[in-house]
Structure 1
Amino acid sequence: MATLTEFFLCFGLWHFLQARVAKFTNIECLGVDENFTTISLCRLYAVKRDVVEMSLRANILQWPKGPVSMRMQLLKKASGYKPFLYNICQSDVCEYLEKRNHPFVNIILNSFGNNTNVNKCPIPREIVLQHFRFPVKILEIMPLPSGDYALFTTFSFRRADVAQVKVYFTLTEYR
Structure 2
Amino acid sequence: MYSEKHFWFVLLLSLFAINQICCLVEFTNFKCTSFDKDVVDFEYCILKSINRTSKYVSAKIKVFKFPVKSIKVNIGLHQLANGYRPFLYNITFDGCKFIKNQKSNPVAKYFYEFIKDISNANHSCPYNHDFILEKLSSDMINSRLPKILPFPAGNYMFEAHWTANELYRALTKLYIYVS
Q: Give the structure-1-normalised TM-score.
A: 0.81
Q: State the Cα deviation string for residues 136-170 of structure 1 (Å, max 9, x = none).
A: 11221232221111111111246531111111111
Correspondence for 1:97: 99
* Alignment correspondent of 1:155: 162
**Matched residue SS, 1:117:** coil
User: Per the alignment, do residues 94 and 126 of structure 1 end up closer, same or farther by CA in structure 2, a change over 3 Å counting?
Assistant: same
Structure 1 residue aligned with 2:131: 127
Alignment partners' CA distance in 1, 2:118 and 2:165: 30
Task: List runs of 5+ in structure 2 lacking aligned partners.
Answer: none
Q: Is the 8 A contact 1:41 1:57 kept in 2?
A: yes
- Matched residues in 2 for 1:88 and 1:161: separation? 16
Map 1:1-175 onto structure 2 (within 5 A).
Answer: 20-63=23-66, 66-90=69-93, 92-100=94-102, 101-122=104-125, 123-134=127-138, 135-136=141-142, 137-157=144-164, 160-172=167-179
Distance 1:68 1:15 in 2: 40
- Contact 1:55–1:132 (CA under 8 A) maintained in structure 2: yes
Equivalent residues of 2:22, 2:150 under 8 A apart = no
Unaligned runs of 5+ in 1: none
Distance 1:93 1:73 in 2: 16
What value does the CA root-mean-square deviation take over the aligned residues? 2.7
* Alpha-carbon contact 1:64-1:157 (below 8 Å) kept: no
Q: Cα gap change, 1:124/1:45 in structure 2, threshold over 3 Å: closer, same or farther? A: farther
User: What is the TM-score of this pair, normalised by structure 2?
Assistant: 0.79
How far the C-alpha of 1:114 sits from its partner, in A, is 1.9
Could you list the per-position Cα deviations for residues 42-88 of structure 1 after superposition, in whole angstroms to 9, with x for gaps in the alignment?
01111011101111111111145642321111111111110111111
CA distance in structure 1 between the partners assigned to 2:90 and 2:20 by the alignment: 33
CA distance in 2, matches of 1:144, 1:103: 19
- Structure number with the higher strand fraction is 1
Q: Post-superposition, which runs of at least 4 consecutive aligned residues in structure 1 deviate over 4 A?
A: 14-19
Q: How far, CA to CA, are the matches of 1:43 and 1:15 in structure 2?
A: 36
Percent pairwise identity: 21
